[in-house]
Structure 1
Amino acid sequence: MILGIDLGTSMVKATAFSIDGRCLGSAARRTVLNYLGAGRVEQDYELLVQSVGAVVREVVASTGQTPIAIGITGQSDGLWLVDDKGHATQAAVSWLDDRGNPYLKNWIDNGTFEAVFRRNGNAIFPGSHAPLIAAMAAADPAALERAHTVTYLKDAILQRLTGVRVTDASDASLPFLDTRTREYDPEIFRLLGLETYRRLLSPVIPAPGQAFPMTRAGSELTGLPEGIPVHAGPFDLPACAIGGGVRNVGDGLIIVGTTLACEVLVDEVRTDGPPVGMTLCLPETGRWIRALPATVGTASLDWILGIIGADATDVDRLLAQSRPGAIGVAALPYFSATGERAPFVDVNARGMLSGLNTSTTRADLVRAVCESVAYAARHCIEAAGLTGNLYVCGGGSNSTLWSQMIADALQIPLHISPRPEVGARGASMAALRVIGVDFDADAWTRPEGVITPDKAMAAHYERGFAFYQEMVAAARPLWHSPYRV
């Protein structure tokens, strides 16, 4: 078997797969996000390390097999500061943290933001390395001096398992990489005024990646034998594309997760369009993922569910109780404190509910938010340039009615990516390729079914999408009003 580890924002998971792609078992531990107020969100890296050891031991015990290799994927961005042994020097700053907002806003205002995009096709957002490094350099420069490496979570875990300090080109793509050459771009560091901190970044592994043997320390953590190859592959957005069935240029994937990630496989880096989204290197050269990861997603739905005292198990029941259009209730789902990053960038973007009256029900509120996320998916997937098949995965896709709503809003068939754990599946596939094991990619990524759009709903959702765009246009001046409290 092969083991895929997915270091998500809300869960750490380990999933075992047979060489023909069957899921043999999975284990998970919930992560802890520490909300410190004033938009600050941190995580305890050492606690995550222990969770990795626990889930690996659990899934290996349940299968009774030792993996031939381990593939790692997970959340990107944030600020993970470690020493030369890969141990945390302080709490990690989550990608959900908004302390980078003023630095990004300044870069947007002075043209630096667009200048970086024109070099590598990546739009910086508040939770990415550049603004968080800038914020820490201003508020706590000693923290950066104490650290040996400013890294990403999956690369920090790789170092704990193998002792190797590297990163892959997908993580490094945003913001400092020349995505064509896969080398750091000195001009980007200069534009951002962060040349001093180049030394803190890990070397980028050349394509198609590399696996490293597990050390004694890794063995003690996981209970696995020393020497097992460990591959720190692409982070979760490209890994999901690989595991979700995206194979041909123009194919796309919608991940209905904490964020709504809409992505399309491309064969060139384009920097001439609007400065938005990400251009992420895949393991193979000449291929990139054009990603528009909106901050809306299940996080927006969870927020409204919490407001009304419901949870994810209630979603389909509530959607069934409210007809399309939610009796005039409409939403903008930008509830993240960091604003929005796709298909437009605005750190001041905020959520909105309109059309409320005394007849509005809890179900109407849920439907309005779900419809707004569906419209955001259409907005992003059109901007990403989809021309081929479209796949769907993520926790939100487990809702039958919400998935149908997304298909209806796009009027595009949604191929259901193989479950469970699409990200871990992609990480496992990438690892198998690197260690030279032949496998049937079609078997690994065969869709579980297709959600066909209801043509009878096309006109309704066309009007709804137009109104959604009108709401965005009307709200944007309000987000920047001098009278905003």
Structure 2
Amino acid sequence: MADRVLIGIDNGGSETKCAVFSLDGRELAVASRRLPIEVPHPGWSERDAKRVWEMNVEAIREALSSAKVTGEQVAGVGLTGYGNGVCLVDENGEPTYKAVVSTDERADDICSEFAETGVERAIYPMTCQSTWAAQPAAMLVWFKRNMPEVLERTRWCLGIKDYIRFRLTGTFTTEMTEASSTCLLNLHTRSFDPAIFEALGIPELHRIMPPVCESCSAAGTISAEGAKETGLVEGTPVAAGYFDIDAAEFASGVADTETLCLIAGTWSINERLALEANTDYDKNKNTVTLGYRPGFFNVEESWPTSASNFDWFVSNLLAPGEESVSRSDLYAKCNAAVAALDPNESDVVFVPYLYGASYPSGADACFMGLTSYTTREHMLLAVYEGVCFSTLWNVHQLVGKDLTGRHVRLSGGVAKSHEWTQIMADVLGVPVETLANTELSAQGAAMSAGVAAGVYSDFDDAIAQAVRLGETVNPRPERVETYRRKFARYERALEALAVFGKE
């Protein structure tokens, strides 16, 4: 029989990707499709669910073709994607409304109401998390108040990957990690809790929540219709899959409570596994969900303070006048310029809050410490440093300031740059390991399919066989001291912004 492969499908906020992996974790092919987000009103984010399915079909067929494999070689299919948002469907799986994306803000006032009236405090011991606008906990209340006719037609409240799983298999399910982020699941009983729905004022909507599967279980098999549309084979196991942050953690090989998983892409996602979850509302500091491994919680600190800030800088301050230079060459020039600079030469601070942050509340991005000596290259270095400083600030919220004995796995756009990874290691003061593959969320989904299909005996076997490490970058002692000083300056900049933002 030809070599078997695993498929991971990642439905993200900006694009859909289908990746094909060998059983030993090699990335054989990736196909992607973009579908613009519809914004019918300020703060709303929607897509046509059927068009999302069509994008999945195209990506699956292209990935199989690019990898030069057939559906018969696919041992299993796994799913991942952005958590939250809602995809409401009737008993036949027909959407009753557009698929709401996780960036939707229409229920923001409802979350404020939950906090002010004590609802959030009441459910916190069960959910271990605060509410935010795109969570089903808030979205379902919004629909009840504003579009009750949609809920009258709705049989199932799904996440986007749950809808894709239905189109592949014909079954209605969700999985544990995404369900745990909805603020509707009791993290201790691992079930949708009627008491939470009662507290939110939507007790009648408990009925629309689908059965919850363990993430590495087979949640169905490819149906005859799914096979016809995708080129996959009827009967192929489809794993329940993962929330994308959990999938990336799995594919990063994070298997204990001491290793940090840092994903420095568009967002700065910083997470770790924990054996316990905080249930005290007054000590609420991090986002807590269920971990990709049963028995663990996932603790997360995520802000939009990563490479998206660098892209803005390149597009607005570097790219003009460089029309003849390709984007990849421009990035290479940036890396070379940063590598040539001594960080002691400039104390310019960049706070990477172009797209928002949590501390200080309402603060905007800024450069501080500009002088007549400052060059464009100094500002570029400050962007690299600012992203790393923000990561360190978040890591401190996760585990405290002593990183002794911690292991770090880094992925995302920052990890593609050796120069940037080196600064990250210098700022953190510990070795940083990168990953060889680029589509980690899709790989984590594929690994879940491998466990579900029996290709791997368990989580540890999947990690041993499929996780592929890249380079290990060690901190430079002399630069560690430099960046301790510069990080203290960065923290003073945050305090200045706290004062500046007060009215």
Q: TM-score, normalised by structure 2?
A: 0.86
Structure 2 Cα separation of the partners of residues 145 and 18 of structure 1: 45
AA matched with 2:17:
K
Could you say if the C-alpha distance between residues 335 and 101 of structure 1 is closer, same or farther in structure 2, counting changes exceeding 3 Å? Answer: farther
Q: Is the 8 A contact 2:213 2:240 kept in 1?
A: no
C-alpha displacement of 1:309? 5.8
| 2:357 aligned with 1:340 | yes
| 2:46 aligned with 1:46 | no
C-alpha displacement of 1:374? 1.1
| 2:326 aligned with 1:318 | no
Structure 2 Cα separation of the partners of residues 335 and 209 of structure 1: 40
Could you say if the C-alpha distance between residues 59 and 191 of structure 1 is closer, same or farther in structure 2, counting changes exceeding 3 Å? Answer: same
Select 2:229's aligned residue among 212, 217, 221: 221
| 2:454 aligned with 1:446 | no
Select 1:185's aligned residue among 180, 185, 193: 193
Structure 1 Cα separation of the partners of residues 190 and 124 of structure 2: 15
| 2:96 aligned with 1:89 | yes
- Unmatched segments (≥5 aa) in structure 2: 320-326
Could you say if the C-alpha distance between residues 220 and 103 of structure 1 is closer, same or farther in structure 2, counting changes exceeding 3 Å? Answer: same
Could you say if the C-alpha distance between residues 422 and 205 of structure 1 is closer, same or farther in structure 2, counting changes exceeding 3 Å? Answer: same
| 2:123 aligned with 1:123 | no
- DSSP-derived class of the 2:78 partner: strand
Structure 2 Cα separation of the partners of residues 95 and 313 of structure 1: 33
Structure 1 Cα separation of the partners of residues 49 and 293 of structure 2: 30
Which residue does 2:207 correspond to in 1? Answer: 199
Select 2:63's aligned residue among 59, 62, 81: 59
Structure 1 Cα separation of the partners of residues 365 and 139 of structure 2: 24
| 2:389 aligned with 1:381 | no
Which residue does 1:469 correspond to in 2? Answer: 491
Q: Is the 8 A contact 1:326 1:365 kept in 2?
A: no
Could you say if the C-alpha distance between residues 414 and 434 of structure 1 is closer, same or farther in structure 2, counting changes exceeding 3 Å? Answer: same
Higher mean alpha-carbon deviation, 68-77 vs 95-104, is at 95-104
The aligned length equals: 476
- DSSP-derived class of the 2:46 partner: strand
Q: Is the 8 A contact 2:304 2:353 kept in 1?
A: yes
Q: Is the 8 A contact 2:215 2:241 kept in 1?
A: no
Q: Is the 8 A contact 2:285 2:397 kept in 1?
A: no
Structure 2 Cα separation of the partners of residues 36 and 351 of structure 1: 28
AA matched with 1:97:
D
Could you say if the C-alpha distance between residues 283 and 329 of structure 1 is closer, same or farther in structure 2, counting changes exceeding 3 Å? Answer: closer
Q: Is the 8 A contact 1:234 1:282 kept in 2?
A: no
Structure 1 Cα separation of the partners of residues 147 and 424 of structure 2: 44
- DSSP-derived class of the 2:450 partner: helix
Could you say if the C-alpha distance between residues 352 and 213 of structure 1 is closer, same or farther in structure 2, counting changes exceeding 3 Å? Answer: same
Q: Which structure 2 residues correspond to residues 78-117 of structure 1 after superposition, within 5 A?
A: 78-117=85-124
Structure 2 Cα separation of the partners of residues 367 and 252 of structure 1: 25
Which residue does 2:300 correspond to in 1? Answer: 291
Which residue does 2:450 correspond to in 1? Answer: 432
Q: Is the 8 A contact 2:162 2:172 kept in 1?
A: yes
Could you say if the C-alpha distance between residues 236 and 308 of structure 1 is closer, same or farther in structure 2, counting changes exceeding 3 Å? Answer: same
Structure 2 Cα separation of the partners of residues 451 and 166 of structure 1: 41
Structure 2 Cα separation of the partners of residues 197 and 479 of structure 1: 40
Which residue does 2:322 correspond to in 1? Answer: none
Structure 1 Cα separation of the partners of residues 28 and 124 of structure 2: 42
Which residue does 1:277 correspond to in 2? Answer: 286
AA matched with 2:291:
L
Q: Is the 8 A contact 2:270 2:391 kept in 1?
A: yes
Structure 1 Cα separation of the partners of residues 214 and 462 of structure 2: 25
Percent identity, aligned pairs only, is 28
C-alpha displacement of 1:426? 1.2
| 2:465 aligned with 1:458 | no
C-alpha displacement of 1:227? 1.3
Which residue does 2:424 correspond to in 1? Answer: 406
Q: Is the 8 A contact 1:207 1:285 kept in 2?
A: no
Could you say if the C-alpha distance between residues 354 and 236 of structure 1 is closer, same or farther in structure 2, counting changes exceeding 3 Å? Answer: same
CA RMSD in angstroms comes to 2.8
Structure 1 Cα separation of the partners of residues 69 and 347 of structure 2: 55
Q: Is the 8 A contact 1:209 1:283 kept in 2?
A: no
Could you say if the C-alpha distance between residues 254 and 463 of structure 1 is closer, same or farther in structure 2, counting changes exceeding 3 Å? Answer: same
Could you say if the C-alpha distance between residues 366 and 17 of structure 1 is closer, same or farther in structure 2, counting changes exceeding 3 Å? Answer: same
Q: Is the 8 A contact 1:211 1:431 kept in 2?
A: no
AA matched with 1:453:
P
Select 2:163's aligned residue among 156, 162, 166: 156
Could you say if the C-alpha distance between residues 208 and 17 of structure 1 is closer, same or farther in structure 2, counting changes exceeding 3 Å? Answer: closer
| 2:350 aligned with 1:331 | yes
Which residue does 1:303 correspond to in 2? Answer: 312
AA matched with 2:134:
G
C-alpha displacement of 1:111? 4.2
CA offsets 1:130-171 (integer angstroms, 9 cap, x no match): 233334444433333343333211111101111111111100
AA matched with 1:370:
Y
Structure 2 Cα separation of the partners of residues 297 and 86 of structure 1: 37
Select 2:248's aligned residue among 228, 231, 240: 240
CA offsets 1:321-370 (integer angstroms, 9 cap, x no match): 4643794442332333xx435xx695x45433434567655544443333
- Unmatched segments (≥5 aa) in structure 1: none
C-alpha displacement of 1:281? 1.8
Higher mean alpha-carbon deviation, 370-379 vs 152-161, is at 370-379
Q: Is the 8 A contact 2:48 2:99 kept in 1?
A: yes
AA matched with 2:69:
G
Higher mean alpha-carbon deviation, 362-371 vs 430-439, is at 362-371
C-alpha displacement of 1:450? 0.5
C-alpha displacement of 1:110? 4.1
Q: Is the 8 A contact 2:17 2:30 kept in 1?
A: yes
Structure 1 Cα separation of the partners of residues 363 and 87 of structure 2: 26
- DSSP-derived class of the 2:212 partner: coil
Structure 1 Cα separation of the partners of residues 499 and 112 of structure 2: 16
Which residue does 2:323 correspond to in 1? Answer: none
| 2:23 aligned with 1:19 | yes
Structure 1 Cα separation of the partners of residues 360 and 208 of structure 2: 27
Select 1:250's aligned residue among 258, 283, 295: 258
- DSSP-derived class of the 2:228 partner: helix
Structure 2 Cα separation of the partners of residues 340 and 195 of structure 1: 34
C-alpha displacement of 1:112? 3.8
Higher mean alpha-carbon deviation, 428-437 vs 327-336, is at 327-336
